[in-house]
């Protein structure tokens, strides 16, 4: 996430980074007891051309055909609030419609061994949800410590999910452009590129793992250096964003989409998003932008979204512990 942008405030996280920017906020990772991991493998250009309509089947990128969708037909889900011990089962019950299509979680790599316990603690809820699992694996060690051996440990943990039929989109080192500048991640562009390549190599033979490149909101030109050198290792692109004012989907994602999804013919997904400040009208406005943007003609590569369903500093949530009017307005943006 960008810690100094004019339109978005970044960093709603409770781990070691704590700065925020003025208008758009991203980086809602939780502390080491609650963050999750993810892994992904590369696909060729034909697999990266999946449209939103193709990907909503059990084929393509594994999105459930009967999962929750926004009004524009895009599969949609949530990141359950770990501090509230929320489960996707509880969120799905509160929504009372189709079950969530995506399930986000956080985890950190803090040393030269990794057992994935933060992810595995949610394993049964993830399996039962039948959603695509989008773990954000955060290397809080130096990027150079993400060796091929550590990468194999990540792949092994994720295989415990895919062996149960779970599709995994790995947001490895998400928001790298922000977290390195804030001190949560350690390293530089080169060491990050090597770490990404090691993870991609470790998971490439597992067809149910996809690599999801997901920086923090920033000008597209500044993100070029962080885009993996081998584009074939990127299955999905996205960008975390938390608008602090009423902005359109085009305002927030347009330039990124054109520079990375459209240019490379790679599917685009929202790894996490929400309002950049505690304002009920803003979160409903922003949900509407996501739910009603034109995906047929303007954003055909937009395949999925995931909402930061947390109370953290302020209330990002649109479903859990909300007034009946907020829940009704939110559900009005989903397909019945």
Between CA 32 and CA 44 the distance in angstroms is: 34
CA dist., res. 48 & res. 60, Å (int): 9
Q: Is 175 a catalytic residue?
A: yes
First to last CA, the chain: 33
Supply angle C-alpha 293, 266, 245, rounded to 5: 35
Neighbours of 228 (CB within 10 A): 17
For 255, other C-beta atoms within 10 Å of its C-beta total 16
272 is catalytic: yes
Q: Which residues of 118-152 are buried (b: 16+ CB within 10 A; e: fewer)?
A: bbbbbbebbeebbbbbbbbbbbbbebebbeeebbb
| Residue 146 and residue 111 in contact, taking contact as beta carbons nearer than 8 Å | no
Q: From CA 215, how far away is CA 212, in angstroms rounded?
A: 10
Give the Cα separation of 241 and 297 in Å (integer): 23
Give just the sign of the alpha carbon dihedral 96, 99, 102, 103.
positive
Angstrom CA distances, 183 to 18, 19, 50, 141, stand at: 10, 10, 36, 10
**What is the pairing mode between strands 314-315 and 311-312?**
antiparallel
Q: Which among 167, 175, 329, 333 is annotated as catalytic?
A: 175
HEC sequence for 145-211:
HCCHHHHHHHHHHHHHHHCCCCCEEEEECCCHHHHHHHCCCECCHHHHHHHHHHHHHHHCCCCCEEE
Q: Which of 272, 309, 329, 333 is catalytic?
A: 272
Q: Which residues are catalytic?
A: 175, 272
């Amino acid at each position: 996430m960008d810690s100094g942008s004019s339109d978005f405030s970044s960093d709603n996280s409770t781990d070691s980074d704590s700065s925020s920017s003025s208008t758009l906020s991203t980086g809602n990772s939780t502390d080491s007891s609650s963050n999750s991991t993810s892994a992904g493998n590369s696909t060729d250009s034909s697999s990266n051309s999946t449209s939103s309509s193709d990907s909503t089947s059990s084929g393509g990128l594994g999105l459930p055909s009967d999962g929750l969708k926004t009004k524009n037909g895009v599969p949609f889900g949530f990141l359950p609030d770990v501090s509230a011990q929320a489960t996707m089962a509880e969120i799905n019950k509160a929504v009372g419609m189709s079950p969530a299509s995506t399930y986000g979680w956080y985890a950190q790599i803090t040393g030269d061994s990794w057992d994935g316990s933060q992810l595995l603690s949610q394993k049964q809820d993830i399996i039962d949800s039948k959603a695509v699992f989008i773990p954000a694996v955060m290397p809080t060690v130096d990027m150079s410590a993400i060796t091929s051996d550590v990468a194999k440990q990540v792949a092994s943990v994720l295989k415990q999910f895919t062996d149960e039929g779970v599709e995994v989109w790995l947001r490895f080192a998400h928001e790298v452009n922000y977290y390195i500048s804030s001190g949560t991640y350690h390293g530089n562009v080169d060491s990050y590129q090597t770490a990404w390549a090691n993870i991609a190599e470790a998971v490439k033979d597992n067809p149910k793992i996809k690599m999801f490149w997901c920086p923090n909101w920033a000008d597209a030109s500044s993100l070029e250096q962080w885009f993996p050198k081998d584009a074939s290792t990127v299955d999905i692109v996205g960008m975390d964003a938390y608008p602090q004012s009423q902005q359109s989907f085009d305002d927030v994602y347009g330039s990124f989409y054109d520079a990375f999804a459209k240019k490379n013919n790679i599917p685009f997904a929202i790894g996490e998003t929400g309002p950049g400040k505690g304002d009920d009208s803003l979160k409903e406005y922003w949900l509407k932008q996501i739910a009603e943007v034109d995906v047929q003609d303007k954003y055909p590569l937009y395949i999925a979204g995931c909402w930061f369903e947390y109370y953290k500093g302020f209330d990002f949530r649109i479903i859990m512990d909300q007034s009946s009017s907020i829940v009704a307005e939110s559900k009005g943006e989903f397909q019945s």
